[in-house]
Chain A
């Protein structure tokens, strides 16, 4: 998987795009939901660590089963659970945003081919072994995805700085 920061950066870009189109979404609450959604599939790592710390499990069958949270069905169920409990005041919109967030996560994961691990490409596991991938290919022995992921990070930083400056300027204008 790409690093957590790259997933967050992609979540931020999605937030920016959606809040650009739907002004109502321009809020920290929705930003948090986009970022949380982009991390949902990786919940398995936290669960796996906890399982290992508590039970000391060395059974990789158990770990591979934890991958259910890293598939479309599992991630959707986690989103549904979160939206119906923590974010139930805005249930529908929260569910949609969390879903968009985790789909963004899957897009990044399957673009890592051929260096993505199998669990990141079997989107319909455990019901199907089919793998899905996007092959960006190589240029001069360098995987294009590597360039792409740093580009995502740079774009997210630029968008963040520009919106930060815009908000500051707007606040100053309002104060004047």
Chain B
């Protein structure tokens, strides 16, 4: 039994060590993540990288999705993500008149990056929309988040409680 616990402890430590290695390796090699072509000429890059390296991306095609917001006669796609700092980057559609867009609705776009500017500490990625895609179900982001994430968390908690996994026992076994 003790041998078994020792073996599992070694496996756990090795996997933890490998995860840490992967983490630090990717810190050094994060460039892989930043600028990738999908083979059809469309670029993939995190918004921050795109905003910090405008000269690399002007004239390139990209796909983006977001809720459009009518502001000062312009249409913005506010970027929503887990980091609040990302909210400082916005996408501005330069040809909204070509498409029928409604305020507050979510659309997908195939677009060309025309310019990247800085306006009052907000980086604005200007895009020329080539194609617009419709959402299947139209609902506000908050409602979508509640409907599709909260039940999932509840299901996992319910199953966890039902299984009564004995974490205390596991910890005590590990100590001894």
Contact = CB atoms under 8 A, between A and B. Distances in A.
A86 B167 contact: yes
A159 interface: no
Interface string A73-117: 110011011001110100100000000000000000000011101
B22 A73 contact: yes
Given A6-B148, A8-B152, A62-B27, A81 B36 contact: no
Interface in B74-124: 82-83, 85, 108, 110
A4 B152 contact: yes
Given A4-B148, A8-B155, A131-B38, A86 B26 contact: no
A35 B63 CA distance: 30
A1 B101 CA distance: 24
Contacts, number: 153
Contact of B23 (A35, A36, A65): A65
Interface stretch (A16-24, A25-33, A168-176): A25-33
B98 to A, nearest CB: 14
Contacts of A35: 155-156, 159
A140 B132 CA distance: 11
Interface string B31-63: 011101010001011101100000000000001
A28 B24 CA distance: 37
13 contacts: A4-B152, A4-B153, A5-B148, A64-B46, A77-B15, A81-B19, A84-B15, A85-B8, A91-B8, A117-B46, A125-B26, A125-B32, A141-B132
Q: Which 5 A-B pairs have the closest CB atoms?
A: A3-B148, A126-B26, A118-B44, A4-B152, A146-B136
Given A28-B163, A68-B19, 11 more contacts: A3-B144, A8-B152, A63-B83, A64-B46, A66-B23, A74-B19, A86-B165, A114-B63, A119-B33, A126-B32, A143-B133
